Amino acid sequence: MRDKIVAGNWKMNLTRQAGLSLVDEIYRGLNLDDTTDVKVVVAPPFPFLFEMRDWINPETLLFLSAQNCHQEKNGAFTGAVSAEMLASYDCTYCIVGHSERREYFGEDDKLINQKIQRLLENSIKPIYCCGESLEERESEKHFEVVAAQIQSAFQGFKKQELLNVVVAYEPVWAIGTGKTATPEQAQEMHAFIRQKLSQVLGDEAEEISILYGGSVKPENAKELFSQKDIDGGLIGGASLNANQFLSIIHSF
Ligand code: PEP
């Protein structure tokens, strides 16, 4: 059985106090519901990671993620944070390849491949984001684009290593825009990604969680999550509101 995961990407939002209140509300909301088998992941900004560890509790299925890491092990990279540091802060996951990192920080899949390497060396599960732009979808290149992203990001890893990766399909045109892929569009791409992964992993591709991201809200989560190959969501805007985030979790 693959993991069901709902991950909240807080991006560069909130202050320390607001972040602590939010994680506390999420934690309490989860504690009240003892039937959920969804792994809930919060990805706050780096400075919040230390204190957020107090809320991490595998029994309530609440886990910590970072939003990024540096591709080198350590060294003279002012302002950067290594995978080893994240491991020492009990991060179970780390987002890599988010479209905002690709667009605003010029990251490509070759670099992301190195980051995945660093994370796996430190036993952190990468949440690898991929997805096409609006122009690529309109010119019907979306399958080609996502296949190339996956091929290059996962190049050179052994099967056993790749089994620790979570994939997030995030069509760029749906992120923060209020536009969501239809459940059919999302399912079609998720099935395609799983089929690509099966070329390396064989039947074990069935074990990989593939999340959908792009304007997931309480109103559309249930239908998206009911698709065969959609194993949860990577949530941006709606993860900043505890009620909305909990409602998305409970829509499983
Ligand atoms: C994201 O940034 O990963 C994301 C999915 O954002 P939103 O939910 O706001 O579209």
Task: Give the per-residue pLDDT at 33.
Answer: 60
Retrieve residue 108's tokens. 């490509």
Task: Give the per-residue pLDDT at 180.
Answer: 86
Which portions of the chain are predicted below pLDDT 70?
Answer: 31-35
Task: Give the per-residue pLDDT at 35.
Answer: 63
Neighbour-count burial of 131, counting CB atoms closer than 10 A to its CB (0-12 exposed, 13-18 middle, 19+ buried): buried
The parent domain of residue 171 ranges over: 4-250
Residue nearest to atom 8 of ligand 1 (CA): 236
Residue nearest to atom 7 of ligand 1 (CA): 236
Q: Are 44 and 106 in contact (CB under 8 A)?
A: no
Task: Give the per-residue pLDDT at 57.
Answer: 79
Collect contacts of 31-37 with beta carbons under 8 A, ≥24 apart: 31/60, 33/250, 36/61, 36/249, 36/250, 36/252, 37/4, 37/61, 37/252
- Report the CATH number that the domain containing residue 107 is assigned in CATH: 3.20.20.70
Task: Give the per-residue pLDDT at 142.
Answer: 97
77 Cα to the center of ligand 1, angstroms = 28
- The dihedral formed by the CA atoms of 64, 70, 76 and 78, expressed in degrees to the nearest 10: -70
Task: Give the per-residue pLDDT at 9.
Answer: 98
Whole-number Cα distances in Å, 57 to 16, 132, 229, 236: 20, 35, 27, 22
Biggest CA pair distance of the chain: 47
pTM tops 0.75? yes
122 Cα to the center of ligand 1, angstroms = 26
75 Cα to the center of ligand 1, angstroms = 32
pLDDT digits over 130-177, tens only? 999 999 999 999 999 999 999 999 999 999 999 999 999 999 999 888
Task: Give the per-residue pLDDT at 60.
Answer: 74
Of 194, 197, 170, residue with least CA distance to 101: 170
Question: Count of domains in the chain?
Answer: 1
C-beta of 8 in contact with ligand 1 (< 6 A): no
Q: Is 190 a catalytic residue?
A: no
6 φ/ψ angles, rounded to the nearest 5 degrees: -120, 120
Q: Is 170 a catalytic residue?
A: yes
Q: What is the DSSP string of 62-75?
A: EEEEES---SSSSS
